[in-house]
Amino acid sequence: MKIWKSSEYAEREFPEPPWLVPGLVPGYGILMIYAHPKTGKSILSQQLAHSLGCNGTFLGQEISKPLKVLYVQSDLPEMEWAQQMKDLGICSSTNLPYKNGWYTIWLEPGWLGKPDKELILHRLIEEGRFDLVMYDSLLTISGYADLDDPKAVGQLLLALRRVSRKPAWLIHHKRKGSPGVPDRSNVSAAGSFALCAGVYDSVFAGVAEMVGHYSPMISSISSPVSMPPYFLSIISTTLI
């Protein structure tokens, strides 16, 4: 523990933060992606998992090195999850099916907060040496917790860090009737936000073409600046 003079601290040099997708998806902390249910969050996430695993491109950005991704699915039934993976088709940047190049596990909803389940998943992640863990979704893995309670959401995010200290990609459903943000959970993330990366409709047009115009319309966090209709808000907390 050290106290700095403000002038000296301001001149400190820090290493560049790691990136999973250069300039778009940071490689640390918990990343939250949210939109209305059934708008393509899991499809976009699978595209990211494939691009990272097969050294492709994601939303026009080249992946600098292949990474090992685990997708933890608790939001869709097992059969529907398998079918969705098969239906995604071929990635234009890798010429491989989107179902290739990454790993998945299906868990019953409500496993987060159960020490035995957390420990098993923790061991699997450590043994598999994964670089990124995706969780689908915050509501279901928590057992339908009250996400309007900032304390509850903070405890859930701390529980995720118990499961793994690897970068986490967390899918969250926007609630009906809540303009701009899904609920208070995105601002009770036990840390300030390090990134809000915007991806405009010109980029999403390519995604829509690849997945049959099933591109997610993902809302941004509240901002005084007007955002275009297609806007991807990827939020990285400082909970690392």
Q: What per-residue confidence (pLDDT) applies to 147?
A: 86
List, as one string, the DSSP characters of the chain: -----HHHHHT---PPPPEEETTTEESSSEEEEEESTTSSHHHHHHHHHHHHHHT-EETTEEPSS---EEEEE-SS-HHHHHHHHHHT-B-TTTSSBTTSS-EEEE--TT-TT-HHHHHHHHHHHHHHT-SEEEEE-HHHHTTS--TT-HHHHHHHHHHHHHH--S-EEEEEEPPTT--SSSSGGGG-SSS-EEEE----HHHHHHHHHHTTS-----PPPP-SS---SS---EEEES--
Residue 2 located in a structural domain: no
pLDDT at residue 237 is higher than 60: no
Residue 136 located in a structural domain: yes
Residue of higher predicted confidence among 228 and 149: 149
Residue 66 located in a structural domain: yes
Per residue in 169-188, pLDDT (tens digit) is: 999 987 655 544 444 544 44
Please report, for the domain that includes residue 180, its CATH number.
3.40.50.300
Residue 71 located in a structural domain: yes
**Number of domains within the chain:** 1
Per residue in 81-133, pLDDT (tens digit) is: 999 999 999 999 999 999 999 999 999 999 999 999 999 999 999 999 999 99
- The range of the structural domain enclosing residue 102 comes to 16-237
